[in-house]
Amino acid sequence: MILLTETKPSTNPITNEERIEYILSDRWIGYPRAKAILQTMEELMHHPRTYRMPNMLLVAPTNNGKTILLQKFFDAYKPVITPETQQTFIPVLYVQAPPIPNEKAFYCNILSSLNAPYLPNNTAAMLQYQVIRILRKVQTKILIIDEIHHILAGSYLSQRAFLNLIKYLSNELQIVIIGSGIRDAFSAINTDKQLANRFEPAVLPTWRPDAEYFRLLSSFEAMFPLHQKSNLTKEEVAIKVLSMSGGTIGEISMILKKAAVLAIKTGKEMIDLSLLTKINYVGPAHRQRQYESMLL
């Protein structure tokens, strides 16, 4: 996970163990594309309730920051309880799509996220009534559905039924739906052309050796409490990290964290090309080949 930090560790002397713990902790780097998507979400949050609500479809390769981006937005709108009336407000609700497009399973996921008691044996219609009643009461404005590409795991009829369910919730409650998934999410939503027209695409592409990538490396270097300058933006180092990672921010983060920890443990106190060759890291492509070889 990558979470935002604006500050470096305290200037007071800290131990190597504390430095390593700091390096391995979660933090967010607010790079431009992620900030732009968060801004769009903010605009959706303040969109007035209308008969045809706008939606968003966030798409990114695995381990490229889509889930943590949604989590950051969700964390900014935690449930609120008014002291006077004890009324609970849940402006943003975050759920995962079920492994297969199943109405009851989806409604149960929503109720679980709401910490609402329910009877799993109830019919889909009864669970739907309960969901709508509660979401109205807590005045939910945005429903985030992660892993929405799971829709494709069902038959054509079950896909259509699940998409109709999403459309119904959006229309009935006049709420924004933010779907998130891998590239297959486009295919999942496009199963219903009418619904697809409501979803504005937002894409987190893999990283390339451009100015934004070099700024990302500078941000990582500024966060790491190493005693020597690493020069991560040096071309040979930057290209090495990019080729090892496959271009996803999750893998880039993992590589640089492992290297920073090794730099402390070895006393090198900086990340360079030679150190990158010594970290205990297997890239995504090599992992797949390892799995396949184990099955032979």
Secondary structure of 81-95 in HEC code, one letter for each residue: ECCCCCCEECCEEEE
Is residue 238 predicted with pLDDT exceeding 90? yes
Q: What are the boundaries of each domain within the chain?
A: 16-30+208-295, 39-203
Phi, psi of 74 (to 5 degrees): -60, -40
User: Could you give the CA distance from residue 52 to residue 198 in angstroms, rounded to a whole number?
Assistant: 8
Is residue 1 predicted with pLDDT exceeding 50? no
What pLDDT is recorded for position 195?
83
Pull the structure tokens for residue 12: 């007071």
Instruction: Provide the b/e sequence for 222-237 (b: ≥16 CB within 10 Å).
Output: ebbbbeeebbbeeeeb
pLDDT band at 296 (very low <50, low <70, confident <90, very high): low
User: Which residue reads 């929503």 in tokens?
Assistant: 110
What pLDDT is recorded for position 282?
86
Closest CA to 168 of 146, 198, 190: 198
User: Could you give the CA distance from residue 22 to residue 70 in angstroms, rounded to a whole number?
Assistant: 23
What pLDDT is recorded for position 14?
85
Rounded average pLDDT over 203-228: 95
What pLDDT is recorded for position 141?
97
As its CATH architecture, domain 39-203 has 3-Layer(aba) Sandwich (3.40)
pLDDT band at 277 (very low <50, low <70, confident <90, very high): very high
Phi, psi of 205 (to 5 degrees): -75, 165
Which of 46-60, 73-87, 281-295 is predicted with the least confidence, judged by mean pLDDT? Answer: 281-295
What percentage of residues in the chain have a pLDDT greater than 90? 78
Phi, psi of 99 (to 5 degrees): -55, -30
Strand pairing report for 88-89 and 80-81 = antiparallel
Do 138 and 116 form a contact (C-beta atoms < 8 A)? no
